[in-house]
Amino acid sequence: MDSSNASGRTGNSANEHYRKFGSTDMRLSPLGLGCWQFSRGKGMVGGFWGAVDDAVVREIVALCLQGGINWFDTAEVYGGGESEKALSAALNAAGSLADEAYVATKWWPVMRTAGSIPATIDKRLESLSGRRIDLYQVHQPFSFSSVSSEMKEMAKLAEQGKIRHIGVSNFSAKQMSDADKTLRQYGLRLASNQVKYSMLDRSIERNGILEAAKELDIAIIAYSPLAQGILTGKFHQNPALISNLSGMRKRMGGISPKKLEITRPLINKLTELAAKYEATPARIALNWTINAHGETVFAIPGASRASQAEENVKAMTFRLTDSELAELSEMADRVAQK
């Protein structure tokens, strides 16, 4: 545990807690907003979630901005650009509140070559209504081209001023390091690696990704930080909610009655700490995610309702003590071994 504050202090504003994002000059809130849910229910990937009304999207984005979240993560494959369009519309509707907002999006590499990166960038900018792309990420490591070829094309976009910083997603430690090595040839650095990470999925702590990120000053962006909702405790309170989930979400989240029983002791601890901080289990879980490894890990919980956006914002208004972070880590380890 390399966090510096052991007092569990409460801050007045998320703005106090902006962090340097990897080796970049950006200072971002520890939590961003994941915008997969804004896919309008379109496409194979976008259909993972139900459609969210545009008015609700605007409300969610405004609440995030008001609460100190200053960056938003979307992707080409989220509804074939529909999430980008919904996000940009919401940011534009927020007016001056969104003047300092950062946008991250992703290029979809599957069944494509690196040549698709420059060929599709104008479409990304169009879907974002001309908003600046502060972080452009390769969504997956699977394509017809090498990591080096992809990074060379990304570097060209940065040189042209079409993107500011370059990231990857779901890359291994070696792939991440190789990407950074290529970018250094252009005087650039790899900014981030977006990976699945939560109290219930800590594989990056064992497979070298987190270690390499710290060594190279690369930010980790944790997606699915609430383990598809398991860490909110709502399924433990009402197991019948499992039947409302899509088959894909059940499989991806591993949500089952057995999983609920295995994780119940951890949820009970989250609930106990939630009472202490006048919070919720979800806020405690998110607070652990963004503080258990100093300032290396950022997280992008999503929101399909205004209440979920408010939950996310409030997770940044306090800090668990080092001893609480350590205890939760140990409990999560025991759960993972079952």
Map out the domains of the chain with their CATH numbers. 14-336 (3.20.20.100)
CA proximity to 289, closest of 279, 280, 299, 281? 299
Least confident of 2-11, 78-87, 133-142: 2-11
- Evaluate if residue 250 carries a pLDDT over 70: no
Q: What is the pLDDT of residues 178-212, one digit of tens each?
A: 999 999 999 999 999 999 999 999 999 999 999 99
Q: Give catalytic status of residue 18 as yes or no.
A: no
pLDDT of residue 214: 98
Where b means 16+ CB within 10 Å and e means fewer, 130-167 reads ebebbbbbbbbbebebebebbbbbbbebbeeebbbbbb
Q: What share of the chain is helix, strand, coil (3-state, %, to 5)?
A: 50, 15, 35
- Evaluate if residue 6 carries a pLDDT over 60: no
Q: Are 289 and 199 in contact (CB under 8 A)?
A: yes
Confidence of residue 2 (pLDDT cuts 50, 70, 90): very low
Which residues share a beta bridge with 125? none
Q: Which of 78, 136, 223, 277 is catalytic?
A: 78
Furthest CA-CA distance within the chain? 54
Q: What is the phi/psi pair of residue 159, to 5°?
A: -65, -30
- Evaluate if residue 58 carries a pLDDT over 90: yes
Average pLDDT estimate for 92-111 = 97
pLDDT of residue 12: 39
Q: Are 211 and 236 in contact (CB under 8 A)?
A: no
Kindly report the pTM of this predicted structure. 0.92
Q: Supply the mean pLDDT for the chain.
A: 91
Average pLDDT estimate for 260-271 = 93
pLDDT of residue 11: 40
Percent of the chain at pLDDT exceeding 70: 88
Q: Are 256 and 250 in contact (CB under 8 A)?
A: yes
pLDDT of residue 297: 98
> For every residue of 110-154, which 3-state class applies, written as one string?
CCCCCCHHHHHHHHHHHHCCCCCEEEEEECCCCCCCCHHHHHHHH
- Evaluate if residue 5 carries a pLDDT over 80: no
pLDDT of residue 228: 84
- Evaluate if residue 114 carries a pLDDT over 80: yes
**Which is more confident, 237 or 148?**
148
Q: How far is CA 142 from CA 156, 178, 308, in A?
A: 21, 15, 32
pLDDT of residue 103: 98
Residues 6+ apart with CB under 8 A from 174: 208
- Evaluate if residue 17 carries a pLDDT over 50: yes
Confidence of residue 255 (pLDDT cuts 50, 70, 90): confident
**Dist CA 108 CA 142 (whole Å):** 9
